[in-house]
């Protein structure tokens, strides 16, 4: 049995509305196929344009087997490259982020312009044509500061996601933001467990006391619903009247979703008392209570937008049992730490929540690793979102492994 057939067989073992079979979390070959069929083919959230505002600034990330560098050019354009020298493959950008005049390989000093063109390669002879050895580009798209990259030879469509997400995030004016704080957390669990944990709040009561000071899990939008909830519809109506698109928008294939939810009574931000963490607003709606805009885009990101700040989350697999979760707290560019916001107050809720989620993911990965593990059923009331994620994963993997187009709706 070849690798494709083996993974297809494991996926087809899954019972409807049940957790995935254990091997889909643990098997190294499944992980290789996850990379090949999803991470090496789909658009992956890399970071924000305002993280590299000046020419020569860059940041790096690892997408499965591919090291990638995202660089601001002299012309102001943001480009992405495979972070491997065209000489003998050394990483050109060695650090997580930095600022350089040129991109210089640390090994033999091959030197590339910020647009990727090779401009110096010593001792290569008169017949060597530098124009043939520029850094290999990576597909890149930017939507309201969100940088997405795709390492595939041919990138999938991005326009449908752009058209769907733009109206929701545009009113938050992220172009005028900066990163106030960044957290990088390595979770000892499979990347699918990380996303499954995010897609429900069944676990929140008793686990996330800090978050529940303001966040209220709305079962109507945990999966794909919402129109039958009068309180939620009233919130949508009020926010949309203020110019803030809010009604749930779900990709027919289940890959992305945007919706706005109300917070608990009297709360307007993710703080211990529910009051704003930042003086000033991201939006210009004039509406004091806009709740939280939530958007996810599989496989790499979920996000929260409030009136005073926003949070972007990025998920990157490191191995079958390790996942890097990066969280960035976004505030108005003009906000001054210690004057307009207190960093501890801004970050306390989600630093605690992330660490609590890490423990849950790691405990689940350890339990799933037991030979005695048997996939259980999802709660029809509280785990529709997790089921939707697993449905998306299984359908995407099957259709790609079997060479079929993605045509069916997941929801």
Number of H helices, E strands in the chain: 9, 17
**331: pLDDT confidence band, cut at 50, 70 and 90?**
very high
Mean pLDDT of 322-346: 99
Cα separation of 270 and 283, whole Å?
A: 16
Residue 222: the pLDDT is: 60
Residue 349 exposed, middle or buried by CB count within 10 Å (0-12, 13-18, 19+): buried
How many whole angstroms separate alpha carbon 219 and alpha carbon 229?
A: 9
The band of 277, judged by pLDDT with boundaries at 50, 70 and 90, is very high
Best CA proximity match to 91, nearest among 81, 77, 99: 81
Separation between Cα atoms, residue 301 and residue 143, nearest integer Å: 14
Q: Does position 223 have pLDDT exceeding 70, yes or no?
A: no
pLDDT tens per residue across span 227-274: 678 999 999 999 999 999 999 999 999 999 999 999 999 999 999 999
Mean pLDDT along residues 317-322: 99
Name the burial class of residue 133, with classes exposed (0-12), middle (13-18) and buried (19+) by CB atoms within 10 angstroms of its CB.
Answer: middle
DSSP states of 92-151 as a string? SS-SSEEE-SSEE-TTT--EE-TTS-EEE-TT--TT--GGG-PPPEEEEEEETTEEEEE-
What CATH superfamily classification does 44-150 receive? Answer: Rieske [2Fe-2S] iron-sulphur domain (2.102.10.10)
pLDDT score of 47 more than 70: yes
Question: How many angstroms separate the CA atoms of 68 and 393, rounded?
Answer: 24
The pTM score is 0.96
Q: What are the sequence ranges of the domains in the chain?
A: 44-150, 159-368
Residues 6+ apart with CB under 8 A from 255: 161, 297, 298, 392, 396
Q: How confident is the model at residue 8, as a pLDDT?
A: 98
HSE of 364, CA atoms in CB hemisphere, 13 A: 24
Q: Report pLDDT digits (tens) over 369-406.
A: 999 999 999 999 899 999 999 999 999 999 999 998 76
Q: Are 274 and 266 in contact (CB under 8 A)?
A: yes
Q: What is the pLDDT of residue 407?
A: 55
Confidence band (pLDDT; 50, 70, 90) for 225?
low
The tokens of 91 are what?
A: 């990483």
Residue 276 pLDDT: 98
pLDDT higher than threshold 80 for residue 33: yes
> How far apart (Å, rounded) are the C-alpha atoms in residues 108 and 34?
35
Environment class of 265 (CB within 10 Å of its CB; exposed 0-12, middle 13-18, buried 19+): exposed
3-state secondary structure of 172: helix
Percentage of the chain beyond pLDDT 90 is 93
For 53-75, how does the pLDDT look when each residue is reduced to its tens digit (9 = 90+)?
Answer: 999 999 999 999 999 999 999 99
Q: What is the pLDDT of residue 405?
A: 76
User: What architecture is the 159-368 domain classified under in CATH?
Assistant: Alpha-Beta Complex (3.90)
Mean pLDDT (the chain, rounded)? 96
Q: Residues with Cβ < 8 Å from 226, sequence gap 6 or more? A: 218, 220, 232, 233, 236, 247, 248, 259
Question: pLDDT category, 219, cuts 50, 70, 90?
Answer: confident
The torsion angles phi and psi of 238, rounded to 5 degrees, stand at: -65, -45
- pLDDT tens per residue across span 103-151: 999 999 999 999 999 999 999 999 999 999 999 999 999 999 999 999 9
- Residue 355, beta-bridge partner list: none
Residue 410: is its pLDDT beyond 70? no
């Amino acid at each position: 049995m070849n690798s494709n057939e083996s993974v297809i067989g494991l996926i087809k073992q899954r019972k409807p509305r049940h957790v995935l079979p254990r091997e889909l979390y643990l098997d190294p070959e499944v992980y290789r196929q996850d990379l090949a069929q999803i991470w090496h083919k789909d658009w992956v959230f890399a970071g924000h344009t305002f993280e590299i505002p000046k020419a020569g600034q860059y940041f790096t990330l690892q997408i499965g087997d591919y090291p990638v560098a995202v660089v601001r050019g002299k012309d102001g354009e943001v480009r992405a490259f495979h972070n491997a020298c065209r000489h003998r493959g050394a990483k050109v950008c060695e650090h997580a982020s930095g600022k350089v005049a040129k991109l210089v390989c640390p090994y033999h000093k091959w030197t590339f312009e910020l647009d990727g063109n090779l401009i110096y390669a010593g001792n290569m002879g008169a017949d060597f044509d530098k124009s043939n050895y520029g850094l290999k580009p990576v597909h890149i798209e930017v939507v309201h500061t969100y940088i997405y990259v795709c390492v595939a030879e041919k990138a999938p469509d991005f326009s449908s996601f752009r058209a769907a997400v733009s109206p929701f995030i545009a009113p938050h004016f992220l172009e005028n933001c900066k990163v106030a704080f960044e957290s990088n957390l390595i979770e000892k669990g499979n990347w699918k467990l990380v996303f499954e944990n995010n897609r429900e709040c069944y676990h929140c009561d008793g686990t996330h006391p800090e978050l529940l000071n303001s966040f209220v899990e709305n079962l109507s939008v945990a999966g794909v619903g919402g129109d039958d909830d009068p309180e939620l519809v009233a919130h949508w109506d009020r926010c949309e009247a203020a110019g803030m698109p809010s009604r749930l928008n779900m990709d027919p294939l289940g890959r992305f979703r945007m919706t706005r939810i109300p917070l608990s009574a009297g709360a307007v931000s993710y703080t211990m008392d529910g009051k704003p963490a930042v003086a000033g607003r991201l939006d210009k709606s004039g509406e004091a209570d806009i709740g939280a805009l939530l958007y996810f885009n599989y496989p790499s990101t979920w996000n929260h937008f409030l009136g005073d700040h926003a949070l972007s989350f990025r998920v990157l697999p490191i191995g079958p049992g390790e996942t890097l979760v990066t969280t960035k707290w976004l505030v108005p560019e003009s906000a001054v730490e210690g004057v307009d916001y207190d960093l501890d107050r801004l970050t306390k809720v989600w630093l605690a929540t992330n660490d609590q989620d890490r423990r849950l993911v790691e405990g689940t990965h350890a339990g799933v690793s037991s030979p005695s593990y048997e996939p259980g059923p999802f709660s029809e009331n509280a785990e529709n979102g997790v089921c939707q994620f697993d449905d998306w994963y299984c359908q995407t993997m099957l259709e790609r492994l079997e060479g079929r187009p993605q045509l069916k709706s997941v929801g």
